[in-house]
Chain A
Amino acid sequence: MAQYDVIIIGAGPAGMTAAIYAARADMNVLMLDKLAPGGQIINTNEIQNYPGVGTVNGAELAYRMFEHTQEFGNIAFDYRTVKEIRDDGKEKTVICEEEDKTFTGKAIIIATGTRPRCLNVTGEDRYRGNGISWCAICDGAQYRDRDVVVIGGGNSAVEESIFLAGIVKSLTIVTMLELTADPIACDRLRAMNNVKIHIFQEILEFQGDGKLNGVRFKSTGTGEEQVVECDGVFEYIGLIPTTEFLADSGVLNQMGYVEVDEKMQTRVAGIYGAGDCITKNLRQVVTACADGAIAAQEASHYVQNLE
């Protein structure tokens, strides 16, 4: 007999919404996360496009969502890193890294999200967390009146650069392509007088003498190399799905994202996907929540039909 009706792996907006919908469908729910509730939104200073709450801090929204899940008596939460899922038909087993702890459930919702991509160039490991950061709202304040480099040209890179440029002395954006963020955000960044932008550049090395002091890069067009001196670097070069533990499960596509249909159903009966880790175009809090609601509704129907 399975311990839980639905096990949700990942407690970001998709997982927490799935938990609320499954609980309201009278399912006995277990929600697992290796860190804390929230997922990627805890790294976002301001969320301005989640309806009904105006501008909200990401961690604040995460807290509110978690408190909402705890209004129900049938949602358990535990800190676990899942390393494997075993499908035995009507019962599925989730195996965790911590002492090989296992949980059994009738249905599983995978909502493990994504994490920041790294460059893997010289110096990145040496200065990781000590000069190189992936979170401007965490570490930006310590670069007040100093020089920083932001790597990337998408929405995250440009939006976080706008935030950082208000704090630092100078900000240099270095990106592999053009700026690809929303035009309004790009224009706002370009108008800031302490911002320089280098496009079509490949990062070669993070330099320093025990303390990070510069970034070396070269033009992808001319091959010309240059070094920008700086005290800190922020990387925003995209995301990768946190789905390695599903490598042999048959639910991933070649890029490592969970493949689902319009019902959030994977190729395996009783296993659903939701949020940033699934194949889709728009990865936002509101779409993650929508995925979670659909996945939970379908998982609940699946569990009810098993009985």
Chain B
Amino acid sequence: MIKEVNSEEFKGLCGTGLVLADFFSTTCGPCKMLGFVLKDVEKEFGDLTILKIDFDLNKELTAEYGVTGYPTLVLLKDGTEVGRLQGLQQKPVIVRMIQDNQ
């Protein structure tokens, strides 16, 4: 599932299982293309939740996770951060980070 969420929705969804948080900016081209890659990443996994967070609309959440550049991917397992990647990433790198934490 890939879904854009606000802070409240994010907190309701991030506590269980593997959740990949995609902090993005609407003005950022690499963020748009990471969205392209994430659609293909999602196909590789049956039960992965990908939550997209617009930093402009969710600044407190962004600060809470210490996000300093866009796009930033944060992988959460049962609510705890287990991986992080900053910038547009290669699909195999994202897939490996998720597989290593399954």
B90 at the interface (CB under 8 A from A): yes
Interface pair B29/A138, CB less than 8 Å apart: yes
Of A32-40, A215-223, A259-267, A287-295, the segment with at least 4 beta carbons within 8 Å of chain B is A32-40
Q: Are A63 and B36 in contact (CB under 8 A)?
A: yes
Measured in the bound complex, the distance between the Cα atoms of B40 and A58 in whole Å is 21
Given A42-B88, A130-B68, answer yes or no on A36-B34 (Cβ-Cβ < 8 Å): yes
Size of interface on A: residues with Cβ below 8 Å to B: 31
Contact of A58 among B29, B34, B69, B86 (CB under 8 A): B29
In the complex, residue of chain A having the shortest beta-carbon distance to the beta carbon of B68:
A130
Query: Is A57's CB within 8 Å of the partner chain B?
Result: yes
Least CB separation from B88: chain A residue: A35
Instruction: Provide the residues of chain A in CB contact with B68, threshold 8 Å.
Output: 129-131, 142
A60 and chain B: residue at smallest CB distance? B32
Q: Kindly state the separation between the CA atoms of A281 and B54 in the bound complex, as whole angstroms.
A: 39
Known contacts A36-B37, A79-B90; is-contact A133 B25 (Cβ 8 Å)? no
Q: Which B residues lie within 8 Å of A45 (CB)?
A: 27, 29
CB contacts under 8 Å to A, within B45-82, are 55-56, 68-71
Given A35-B37, A60-B32, A139-B70, 15 more A-B residue pairs with CB atoms under 8 Å apart are A35-B89, A42-B32, A44-B29, A59-B29, A62-B29, A62-B33, A98-B92, A129-B87, A130-B69, A135-B28, A135-B29, A135-B30, A138-B31, A139-B69, A141-B27
Show 26 residue pairs from A and B whose CB-CB distance is below 8 angstroms, ordered by the A residue: A35-B37, A35-B90, A36-B34, A36-B36, A38-B29, A42-B33, A45-B29, A57-B29, A58-B29, A62-B29, A81-B90, A98-B92, A129-B87, A131-B68, A135-B28, A135-B30, A137-B27, A137-B28, A138-B25, A138-B27, A138-B69, A139-B69, A139-B70, A140-B27, A141-B56, A142-B68
Which residues of B does A touch, CB under 8 Å? Answer: 25, 27-34, 36-37, 40, 55-56, 68-71, 86-92
